[in-house]
Amino acid sequence: MSAIAPTIPVIAIDGPTASGKGTVAQRVAAALGYHYLDSGALYRLVALRALRAGITPDDGVALAALVATLQPRFADRITLDGEDVTDAIRREEVGVMASRIAVQPALRAALLDLQHRCRQPPGLVADGRDMGTVVFPDAQTKVFLTASVEARAYRRYKQLSEKGFSANLAALLQDLKERDARDSNRAAAPLKP
């Protein structure tokens, strides 16, 4: 992190999966002309790589090692090693893997620097689970955005359907409940306001 970084404003928007925080964060960033960090996408990128490499979610050391070579490009589309992975990282199995690997403290620590480097002038809107609690504890504004698990499951169902992915509402509801429990009960940077 550069010496001037702490003076650069950060708006942290945390909340559970499919609460709409990504949409809000992107609109706020666009309105203010700020940079935008989708920290969930970082966990999803590592998850995609881990799935492809056959790395198991309990192997924190191997997962952290993946981060060293992670050089994603965030523009309209998300590119990893020259491949457009924008849609691939949104798949449900990648989301589930992301939430499984996110319990690993070694991985979370490895991703810290990457996230801090996004704090660039004129400011940053960061969305995730631990933006206000762990990654940017000195953020000027902290928002915790949530909704009922049913509303969020329906939101995710519509998102997936619109993208042409097959989706089952009951399965999504169960999946979100499990993910909420994992994100909220883990020891490392649990989801909390």
Between residues 17 and 110, which has the closer beta carbon with respect to ligand C5P?
17
Using rule CB under 6 A, residue 9 touches ligand C5P: no
175 binds ligand C5P (CB under 6 A): no
Q: Note whether 98 binds ligand C5P by CB under 6 A.
A: yes
Q: Report in angstroms the alpha-carbon separations of 181 from 2, 34, 88.
A: 36, 32, 24
Give 73: exposed, middle or buried? Use CB within 10 Å, 0-12, 13-18, 19+.
exposed
Decide whether 33 or 165 has the Cβ nearer to ligand C5P: 165
- What is the Cβ-side half-sphere exposure of residue 14, based on CA atoms within 13 angstroms? 23
Residue 183 lies near ligand C5P (rule: CB under 6 A): yes
User: Which of positions 43-82 make contact with ligand C5P (CB under 6 A)?
Assistant: 43-44
User: How far is residue 63's CA from residue 49's CA, in Å, rounded to a whole number?
Assistant: 9
3-state secondary structure of 62: helix
How far apart CA 80 and CA 167 sit, in angstroms, is 26
The residue among 34 and 115 lying less far from ligand C5P, judged by its C-beta, is: 115
Q: Considering the complex, what minimum distance in angstroms separates the CB of residue 130 from ligand C5P? A: 5
Measured from the CB atom, the residue of 4 and 75 that comes closer to ligand C5P is 75
For residue 96, the number of C-alpha atoms closer than 13 Å in the C-beta half-sphere is: 13
Angle between helices 60-68 and 39-53 (to 10 degrees): 110
Pick 4 or 80: Cβ nearer ligand C5P: 80
Member of 11, 12, 39, 136 binding ligand C5P (CB under 6 A): 39
Q: Which stretch binds ligand C5P (CB under 6 A): 4-12, 96-104, 153-161, 169-177?
A: 96-104
CA distance 40 to 46: 10
Contact set with ligand C5P (CB under 6 A): 17, 39-40, 43-44, 95, 98-99, 102, 128-130, 179, 183
